[in-house]
Amino acid sequence: MDYKKYIAEKLNIEGLSAEETAAMLEVPPQSDMGDYALPCFRLAKTMRKAPPLIAKELAAKISADGVICEVSVAGGYLNFKIDRLHRAEDTVREVLEKGERYGSSDLGAGKTICIDYSSINIAKPFHIGHLSTTVIGGALYKILSFLGYKAVGINHLGDYGTQFGKLIVAYKRWGDKETIEKGKLRELMRIYVKFHEEAEKHPELEDEARHYFKLIEDGDKEANELFAWFKELTLKEVQKIYDRLKVTFDSYAGESFYNDKMQPVIDELKEKGLLKMSDGAAIVNLEEYGMPPCLILKKDGSSLYATRDMAAAIYRKKTYDFYKSLYVVAYQQDLHFKQFFKVLELMGKEWAKDLVHVSYGMVSMEDGAMSTRTGKVVFLEDVLDKCVEKAAAIIEEKNEKLENKAEVARQVGTGAVIFGALYNNKIKDIVFSYDKVLNFDGETCPYVQYTGARCNSVLKKGGEIGAFRAETLTDEEYALVALLDNFPNVVKEAAEKYEPSFVTRFAVDLAKAYNKFYIADKIIGSEENVKNFRLALTKAVHTVLKTAFALLGIEIPEQM
């Protein structure tokens, strides 16, 4: 049962739809206050009364029934307690009935959401700095799809710019096909770093690089063959990482794809009188909006990120007719997105309001920052490998008789990397620590995975789940029921706020609550009806833990 909807319909507040009232309902911070609460402060303006008085008047309209067992007023809040037994049976049966689809909905039916994430650079390493955009975008793709939206994952490849001219120069001087085929991205990075080292001593190399990039733009056969080869090599290598992280894309249209789509944008800006000249460069003045000018063309006539991003946004609207278009990009680019969103708005694109910058904090290793130019980077592949290796050592120590140890180590190690990037609010900076992410105690990925494996073990020992009724409930059982019942709301809120950490934290809370229940309440060996209900509750917890983690791209092992 949708208890929020049930309460909202009972309240029947004048001037508000049941959906609007349901959206106002909150879960109180302490369970003894009730299961749901309606803050009446927002109603004070329209009802022209003090919130406590509104709460009293609304309380008088509702009497206890088989679902709502108590209504109380606390200041400006109207609190509701749901009949525990009704809620327990109803929730557990619904989870078991719906299985892995529990929490899903058709909320987004008929709506398309474009998600621009990962956006790796061709011929550059897939490093730890790409972790957040990749897994946040990947999780949002899964969460939004789970809610019925048509998600379109876009990998806006960095495949345009002078760096490709630099790479061609570096390849011709210090590279060869066989070495690069063997060393792949690491070898490409080695010669790219070598270019920057040499260019400091021989600045003319920069001119040579610009020349080769111009050859790419002009369609030169050799330059474009090399460029295509670098691109193919990169995509093959990064696909291995995407497969490990369970991240998928529907489009790899990168910067170069929009080369022939920028001129119409420039022409439209001119037609609408928005394009101004400043020191030889073409800009859109945004001073009255509290922003520096948005640079559209450099003095030499070449385009910039803003020009290409506007062309991409217009193309995506025409191609996908999106309901929303998300950009999962670090907070350092806040100004860039504000600027080009504003320029599109000034061009009269009413859909500019549907563009959203989903910003996030930076990831660094414990030993500091990174730079591709100097070669100080931490490959994401190495981080994943090291986490899997460390997980294998921990598993060997804790359970040397475990079957499929290598597979479990892969699930634990890879999951720990994803979880580490998705546990905190996305805007926080992360300092990645192997020891922290692989800790089996506390709020970590292995802790949740171990809880899932524990549920599985209980279900195996318990055998077939017979008929059950919820006749009595301990506090530990009800805490689990309340969490399970709230899971659909958590998923919805994660989608609305573009915040996968809501799902991550929910999984930790559910794991903690299950372990508390496991210690406090006897499952196998208790009276038949009680045993069946507790096994059903365990199965419901196992199902929801697996679903929550699947939305993040993490697996839960059967055994640990």
Nearest one of 304, 361, 350, 353 to 328, comparing CA atoms: 361
Q: Active-site residue among 4, 10, 124, 317?
A: 124
Three-state DSSP at 154 gives strand
- Cα 320 from chain centroid (whole Å): 21
Catalytic residue among 10, 81, 130, 349: 130
What secondary structure, in 3-state letters, does 84-121 show?
A: HHHHHHHHHHHHHHHHHHCCCCCCCCCCEEEEECCCCE
CA distance 127 to 382: 9
* DSSP of 369-404: --BTTTTB--BHHHHHHHHHHHHHHHHHHH-TT-TT
Sign of the Cα torsion 482, 483, 487, 489 reads: positive
How are beta strands 281-284 and 275-278 bridged, if at all? Answer: antiparallel
Query: How far is 283 from 280, CA to CA, in rounded Å?
Result: 10
Catalytic residue chosen out of the listed positions 81, 127, 349, 546: 127
Q: What is the 3-state secondary structure (H, E, C) of 364-378?
A: EECCECCECCCCECC
Residue 127 among the catalytic residues: yes
Q: Give Rg (Cα) of the chain.
A: 28
Q: Which helix (H) or strand (E) holds 194?
A: helix 177-201
Whether 211 is catalytic: no
Cβ distance 118 to 127 under 8 Å? no
Contact 467, 515 (CB under 8 A): no
- CB-CB contact of 311 with 302 (8 Å): no
Helix/strand/coil for 360 = strand
Residue 247 is encoded by which pair of tokens? Answer: 């991240």
Catalytic residues: 124, 127, 130
